[in-house]
Amino acid sequence: MSNLKMQETTIWSFPDRGNWATHKGDYRGNWSPYVPRNLILKYSNPGDLILDNFVGSGTTLIEAKILGRNAIGIDVNTNAINITKERLMFDNRYDVYSKLFLGDARDMPMLENDSIDFVCTHPPYANIIKYSNNLSTDLSLLEYEDFLHQMNSVSKEMYRVLKKGKYCSFMIGDIRKHGNIIPLGFYTMQAFIKNGFTLKEIIIKEQHNCKMTDYWKEKNIDFYLLAHEYIFCFRKLK
């Protein structure tokens, strides 16, 4: 991947999702490794400490390891932690560490104040994809109103652990309810701004290979199919 061309605009599209190292597309909803790769290279330096507090299948931590960054991954789901642990088992030329914690993004007592150089994560989009059956701490089980309330707590905790002057990025998409759009992305963005972050960038990422697209194409619908996600990039200035 040494020939990767870094993104230069605020419109991103990766038809080939990327399958180098131990990356796989078998964990539903995980993001293309091109996304964290671009963000990590843009907003961090070798040897920095990266946090993904919705670690999922470990895409961010794999990229951090490849790029010579230390990393911490947190997830409420034991399955996610186990998958990530397995996918981090590859040889690497950099002397860096990756740590995993079973924990909640709303409360991360294992992390000190102002200890993280860059937060790079991909939270669930409310309950569009459910990652557990009845796990009480799983935000993917929540309706969007409750989800937004909990993301307010997540943003406060991310602000606490991030170093002053450093960056935080996450990807999220909008949802529909009864055929009408709910701007989940912008609602979540507003929570981060309210809790002290300064908005640096809004990047539009085109969606590819979305399973629900074929489902809706077979229906008689009166709305456009969602084919974008947002990548919000923030800075902690105070």
Give per-residue pLDDT as tens, 161-176: 999 999 999 999 999 9
The closest of 23, 34, 89, 92 to 56, measured between CA atoms, is 23
Q: What is the mean pLDDT of the chain?
A: 93
Work out the pLDDT band at 206, boundaries 50, 70, 90: very high
Task: Calculate mean pLDDT across residues 217-236.
Answer: 88
Question: At residue 194, what is the residue type?
Answer: K
3-class SS of residue 206: strand
- What is the structure's pLDDT at 211? 61
User: For 11-235, CATH number?
Assistant: 3.40.50.150
DSSP structural state of residue 141: G
Share of the chain above pLDDT 90, in %: 82
- pTM listed for this prediction: 0.93
- What is the structure's pLDDT at 237? 96
pLDDT exceeds 80 at position 127: yes
The alpha carbon dihedral of 89, 48, 100, 149 has a sign of negative
Show me where the domains of the chain are located: 11-235
- What is the structure's pLDDT at 212? 57
Task: Calculate mean pLDDT across residues 33-57.
Answer: 98
- What is the structure's pLDDT at 222? 84
